[in-house]
Structures are given as C-alpha cells and as structure tokens.
Amino acid sequence: MVVLLILALIINKGKIRPPDYYAFFIMGIIWLALGLPLKNYTLSAMGIVFTIVGLVNKDKWKENRQSWETLTPIEKRWKIILIAILSFLVLAGLVVFILFGEKTA
C-alpha cells in the first residue's frame, strides 16, 4: 500500500483533481450493501457516510466525472495497470480465503 501511495504521488506531481462525488455515492451504496449482511457495522457506517457525501454533492456529479475519452494515454495505461493489479489481489485474496478460511469443526 505504501509503495502504491508513493507511486501515485510521483505520478500526479501536484495535480489535484476535485473529488468524484458520484464515485463516493456508488462506493457508499456498495459498502452499505456488503456491511449489512456481513454484520460489519463499521463498513455499513462508512457506506452511509460515503452515500450521504455523494448525495449532498449531487449537483457536482457531472462536472467532476471523468470519462475514458478525457484521460491522457499515460493515465489510461496507469488505470489499466492498477485495475489489473487490484483484480489480481482480489482474486488472490479469494483463493486464500477459500483455501485457509473458516474451518468448521
């Protein structure tokens, strides 16, 4: 995580983008939906917070939304790389969870 943070800071070099409140809203809905059945109240609470932040700033959804067409070729390449790395980590975590997860007695 620290390596990814340092890499992100190097790549952006002072470029500050406004927050994507639509992404906050979607992330909040997903976290809320996952937190309730898992009885993870922290995840649910964060989901509620992100959903509220997204809804409060609903008027800014379109102005801060970035589409694939507006990204530079370097940004597109980095997004593809990050999506691949994160997908691999999710898949690896799922495999570890299945192999070494809860064992019933």
pLDDT digits (tens, 9 = 90+) for 73-82: 988 998 999 9
The interaxial angle of helices 41-56 and 21-35, nearest 10 deg, is: 150
Residue 71, pLDDT above cutoff 60: yes
Return the pLDDT at 104: 53
CA dist 35 to 53, 77, 94, 95, 100, Å? Answer: 18, 32, 18, 21, 22
Residue spans per domain, the chain: 19-64, 72-105
CB 41 within 8 A of CB 50: no
- For 42, the token pair is 């922290």
Whole-number Å distance between alpha carbons of 30 and 19: 18
pLDDT bracket for residue 46 (50, 70, 90): very high
CB 32 within 8 A of CB 47: yes
Mean pLDDT of 54-76: 88
Question: Whole-structure pTM over 0.85, yes or no?
Answer: no
Degrees to nearest 5, angle at CA 105 with 38 and 99: 65
